[in-house]
Amino acid sequence: NAGVTQTPKFQVLKTGQSMTLQCAQDMNHEYMSWYRQDPGMGLRLIHYSVGAGITDQGEVPNGYNVSRSTTEDFPLRLLSAAPSQTSVYFCASIFSPQGGTEAFFGQGTRLTVV
C-alpha cells in the first residue's frame, strides 16, 4: 500500500511548455483532487474527481486540465505553462470510512515556470 504517489517532485519549465503532473493511488478511493499552494494563499482547489470519468472544476481551474480514466490515476496537465503557475502542487485522495473522512496527500511537486 503506497498511498498517494505524486511525480515529479521538482520541475522547471519554460513559459509555453506543457507538462503533466502524475498522481496515483492504490487504495481504490473515489475522490481525488489537485491543489496548489502559494505563500499566504493556503491550498486552493484546482480540480477534483468523484470517480472514473467524472471531473469538475475547483476554485482555480484556469490553465489546467484533468482526466480520470481509471480510479487509480488523476493526472494534472498544464497545456501552456505561465510564470503564474509557479507553485507547489499537491494531489489528494479521500475516502469515508463509516461516515468519517480519511485524506491522503502526495508529497508535492514544486514547479517553477521561467
Partner 1 sequence: GDSVTQMEGPVTLSEEAFLTINCTYTATGYPSLFWYVQYPGEGLQLLLKATKADDKGSNKGFEATYRKETTSFHLEKGSVQVSDSAVYFCALRERTALIFGKGTTLSVSS
- Report the interface residues with partner 1, using CB under 8 A: 31, 33, 35, 40-45, 48, 50, 56, 58, 90, 92, 94, 99-101, 103, 105-108
Residue 55: strand pairing partners: 49
State how far the Cα of 100 lies from the Cα of 36, in Å rounded to an integer.
Answer: 25
State how far the Cα of 112 lies from the Cα of 45, in Å rounded to an integer.
Answer: 19
State how far the Cα of 16 lies from the Cα of 30, in Å rounded to an integer.
Answer: 33
SS3 readout for 31-72: EEEEEEEECCCEEEEEEEEEECCEEEECCCCCCEEECCCCCC
Q: In angstroms, give the least distance from the CB of 15 to partner 1.
A: 26
Pairing state between β 64-66 and 10-13:
unpaired
Cβ distance to partner 1 smaller for residue 17 or 22: 22
Q: In angstroms, give the least distance from the CB of 105 to partner 1.
A: 5
Q: In angstroms, give the least distance from the CB of 31 to partner 1.
A: 6
Cβ distance to partner 1 smaller for residue 7 or 17: 7
Cβ distance to partner 1 smaller for residue 14 or 42: 42
Cβ distance to partner 1 smaller for residue 48 or 85: 48
Q: In angstroms, give the least distance from the CB of 107 to partner 1.
A: 5
